[in-house]
Copies of this chain bind each other. A is one copy, B any other.
């Protein structure tokens, strides 16, 4: 019997000071409703950002108190399902996003959903690949707005954060206090206009403390790859951090000879953009799991 969390249980900044809305055991399945990033305020194309209540944007559902976790633990979050319930919304805003200086008119567009696609302006049908833009743990102190990515996770807008993926965070606040939201029914790497197909949805997940000392978090894996996720003020800083952390993981944890790790990162690894529109920029470095297996390494389950 899964524990359910409704989307009215929203918070707006990751912080150890936000009271948990629920306590769960490790391994316990949690079904989490999420708002879209506008808390559902944009219902038609007539609803623009000019009339938005900004105080309730970027909601995440939670925080969730994970029993038996303590600072220093590595917590694995298994995404059993990430499901968009729709409809989705997209916007343009002059001056905002990666092409903001070229955008002249504010616009809101509602995308209808079929079972497995979203439809843009009755013309373009796009296969759904629902992902959580925001997911993370509370920092040790202070508060980090949900709009912002970082070492705690947060607004990473990483397209790998979808059904079947496992995310790893380092617990720093008591009981982890995880939360998630900002689901996108579909989105390209970069999120360049400022949004994906912003949708309400439901995420099913479980959590588990794992023994992987030194794992560079946030870290993510799916069936094909492992990846480090890095955020910084510039893309240039973020990618350097991602490369250093992946090379450290491959050599220090997975046990590859340093030069093998570095050359294979170049040969079969991929440096990728997550987003370039949040207060910090986010990139990831992906490395294939079948290559790790050839060196006799797999992440402990």
Contact = CB atoms under 8 A, between A and B. Distances in A.
Interface of A: 90-92, 97-99, 102-105, 107, 109, 120-121, 123-124, 126, 186-197, 234-236, 239-240, 243-244, 247-248, 258-260, 262-273, 276, 281, 285, 291, 294-295
Nearest to A100: B262
A193 B124 contact: no
A107 B259 contact: yes
A46 to B, nearest CB: 15
A272 B272 contact: yes
Contacts of A259: 92, 103, 105, 107
Given A191-B266, A192-B271, 20 more contacts: A90-B263, A92-B259, A92-B263, A99-B265, A102-B247, A102-B262, A103-B262, A104-B258, A120-B260, A120-B264, A186-B267, A186-B268, A187-B267, A190-B239, A190-B243, A190-B285, A193-B265, A234-B236, A235-B239, A236-B281
25 contacts: A99-B247, A102-B247, A102-B248, A104-B258, A105-B259, A109-B263, A121-B260, A124-B267, A124-B291, A126-B267, A186-B267, A186-B268, A188-B271, A189-B270, A190-B239, A190-B243, A190-B285, A192-B262, A193-B263, A193-B265, A235-B239, A236-B281, A239-B276, A272-B272, A272-B273
B270 A188 contact: yes
Interface of A, secondary structure class, is mixed
What is the oligomeric copy number? 2
B247 A195 contact: no
A171 to B, nearest CB: 27
Contacts of A105: 258-259
B240 A98 contact: yes
A98 B97 CA distance: 27
A120 B272 contact: no
A190 B269 CA distance: 8
A236 B273 CA distance: 11
A120 B262 CA distance: 12
